[in-house]
Copies of this chain bind each other. A is one copy, B any other.
Amino acid sequence: NKEAISNLNNENILRYSRQLILPEIGVKGQLRLSNTSVLIVGAGGLGCPSAIYLAAAGIGTIGVVDYDEIELSNLHRQILHTESRTGLKKSASVAASCSNLNSSVKCIPYHTVLSSKNALELINQYDIIVDATDNVATRYLLNDAAVLCQKPLVSGSALKFEGQLTVYNYQNGPCFRCLFPKPPPPETVTNCSDGGVLGVVPGIIGSLQALEVIKIAIGLPDTFKQRLLLFDGLAGSFRNIGLRPRQKNCAVCGDDPSIKELIDYEQFCGAKADDKGKNLTIL
């Protein structure tokens, strides 16, 4: 339904010149980036670096979903916001920062909670989904929605000095549920509000998510499909973990799935879909 961009104008040839000369990208790869749409869910510590590096690289359309407003306590890690924007919508702030860097990218902010009601319609409009969220319920929701819409899901997470990165539901690789069929007990889940996080750790993981998106958009091999990156910022170590293949008995991506439409994920996880409140089970 979108008209494909089939050539680069002179301004864009200049703008992207340093990546156009990479043989792995070239004009063909740049056009693929221009014709790719990416939905970033979460305009926080992971979403900020992801969004700005995708805008810089010339992804055609970037959607940004977040229900939240900017607070001072976000600014130690959410680097696209500014002091003067505190109280304003995060999604609009990220879109504005991306447009300031590259006005040829179409940036669409969605100031809304991603829910079982709107997720499929939103995700269906995009080619690649970035999980830059901050809570378990939304991660299951996003996983199931990405599987049902058949979109690759580039998943990042960070807490304290640690980060994790993988790509779900891509090229017949596993999904989040293949690895974790059951949600963790709510009392074992720590969020950034309670556990803390050093801002640059989601910065590194979010940047790596942008790289994965670019590789998927261009069709480069060696993505983090069926692989997990473990980053330990205190040790300065990166580990590459081989993961299981897609599980035939997976409830959502398996051969005979039981989940064919989105469910109630707060109920499923026993926890609210934000990183603020206490767990439902405790309330």
Contacts and interface: CB of A to CB of B under 8 A. Distances in A.
Interface of A: 11, 14-22, 24-25, 49, 52-53, 56-58, 72-73, 75-77, 79, 81-84, 100-103, 160-161, 192-201, 203-204, 207-208, 210-212, 214, 220, 222-224, 227, 229, 233-238, 240
A201 B211 contact: yes
A134 to B, nearest CB: 11
A229 B161 CA distance: 18
A200 B193 contact: no
A196 B22 contact: yes
A199 B56 CA distance: 7
24 contacts: A14-B73, A18-B196, A18-B197, A19-B197, A21-B196, A22-B161, A22-B197, A22-B198, A24-B234, A25-B196, A49-B49, A49-B203, A49-B207, A53-B203, A56-B79, A75-B102, A82-B101, A83-B100, A83-B102, A83-B103, A84-B100, A198-B214, A200-B207, A224-B236
Contacts of A18: 73, 76-77, 192-193, 196-197, 199
Contacts of A24: 161, 234
A162 to B, nearest CB: 11
B198 A73 contact: no
A73 B220 CA distance: 24
Contacts of A234: 24, 220, 222
A97 to B, nearest CB: 9
A101 to B, nearest CB: 6
Nearest to A84: B100
Given A75-B101, A210-B200, A195 B21 contact: yes
Contact of A200 (B53, B77, B195): B53
Contact of A73 (B15, B57, B75, B161): B15
* Most chain B C-beta atoms within 10 Å of own C-beta, residue among A17, A56, A227: A56
B222 A200 contact: no
Contacts of A25: 196, 198
Contacts of A160: 22
Given A79-B101, A203-B49, A229-B236, A57 B198 contact: yes
